[in-house]
Chains A and B, each alone.
Chain A
Amino acid sequence: MKKIIIAIILLLIALGLRAPAISVMAADTISGVLLYSTSPYAKNEGNLTIDITENNPNYPGYGNGLSPGSVYRFDGLLTIENSNDFPVCVILESQSDLVKFYTDDQSLPAISFTLDVNESMSVGVELNTAELGLMEEYYSIQIMEGGCQ
């Protein structure tokens, strides 16, 4: 637990230097795995939430969302770090046709990767847009002890 708190403070400092627009970094721990984002599009709402609407405290007063018929790819929107003292397999699975993940050029509805002790992975998120309106979509994070099969 101590390790996790220190990591968050360091990130806040690094963030403060690089991106003053972000007031609070969104972070979240799931079973010893830290999920965080240095992007202004993320916020803490009990847990890490991606929010590209006026409801996000980081909303600068412009850029109200994404336009219809477009595809947005946010590089490294999520970072997932293993704070356990054993390797884990992380599976990210989108529950929406409009949300995909990528760690290289190819975006997929579900990705999995192994994280060794203290290792982290930066994950991009691709959002596709449909008709005008507010979208609320979900994805699941599954964590298993040991490397991915």
Chain B
Amino acid sequence: MRKMPLGILGAMVALSLVIGVSATFSDYNADRSIHWNITTDDTELIDLKPIQPYAYIADNGELVVDFSPNNPNYPGYGDGVSPASEYNFNEVFAVSNHLWENMPIVVRITSSNTHVEFYSHEGGVYAVDGGALATASDSARDDVCFVLGPNSEKKIGMDLSANGDSPGDVWDLTMTVKAYRLGTEPAELSNCGQPVVVE
């Protein structure tokens, strides 16, 4: 007999809870998930793909360009670049637009050191400052930008200037790559070869 009132009480509590939830809109909380792969530089949405032995993908997945014996592709000779010289490599790495949305992007590549400058012998790469074409070693710049259409790629060359350096000097620099959906790029990237809009 004692169990009965407890059972009824339990049912009443359950009932009031159900009514409580359905009758008034109160606080509601839900969780949603976001999944993504962290993948190597050469397989991601905006790829950086090495296209000759001086460039490679390191164990951490990042693109490294290395003109020294530390490069895993180092053949045992050719230990670097010589002082007071200038080297240019037409195709070191490629940037691809592998976004899923089929949208053009504006890409900016910036070197942390003026010893290393970028250009593209294919054309379409511009100096951020001034908007001049950077198509060869002479016109290479440490801060360049270009427009990249969906599913296309741009091969980037590098110009290395060892003027004023001594044997044994090591340059360690950072290359920063930024990309914007075409039309959302900052004002300083207005001369990157954007299509002219006729109104």
- Which of A's residues lie within 8 Å of B, judged by CB? 19, 21, 28, 30-32, 35, 39-41, 47-55, 58-60, 62-70, 72, 75, 84, 86, 95-96, 99, 125, 127, 129-145
Contacts and interface: CB of A to CB of B under 8 A. Distances in A.
A65 B37 contact: yes
A30 B28 CA distance: 8
A129 B40 CA distance: 11
A69 B62 contact: yes
Given A62-B151, A63-B100, A138 B38 contact: no
Contacts of B46: 67
Contacts of B38: 65-68, 129-135
Contacts of A140: 29-32
Given A28-B32, A30-B28, A67-B39, 4 more contacts: A63-B44, A64-B44, A132-B61, A144-B27
B34 A50 contact: yes
26 contacts: A19-B101, A19-B102, A21-B102, A35-B32, A41-B100, A50-B36, A52-B37, A53-B35, A63-B45, A63-B47, A63-B99, A64-B43, A65-B37, A67-B61, A75-B184, A99-B34, A129-B36, A131-B60, A131-B61, A132-B60, A136-B34, A138-B34, A139-B32, A140-B31, A140-B32, A144-B26
A63 B43 CA distance: 6
Contacts of A137: 33-35
Nearest to A72: B45
A62 B37 contact: no
Nearest to A77: B34
A133 B153 CA distance: 25
Most chain A Cβ neighbours within 10 Å, of B25, B29, B38, B40 = B38
Interface of B: 25-41, 43-48, 60-62, 98-102, 151, 181, 184
Nearest to B97: A63
Contact of B37 (A39, A135, A139, A142): A135
A64 B39 contact: yes
Contacts of B62: 67-69
A7 to B, nearest CB: 19
The 7 closest A-B pairs by CB, nearest first: A65-B37, A63-B98, A65-B39, A52-B36, A31-B28, A67-B44, A50-B34
B100 to A, nearest CB: 4
A52 B25 CA distance: 34
B100 A40 contact: yes
Contact of B33 (A39, A129, A136, A144): A136
A135 B33 CA distance: 10
Contact of B31 (A19, A31, A139): A139
Contact of A47 (B32, B100, B184): B32
B30 A75 contact: no
Nearest to B103: A19
B36 A66 contact: yes
A14 to B, nearest CB: 15
A139 B34 contact: yes
A28 B32 CA distance: 10
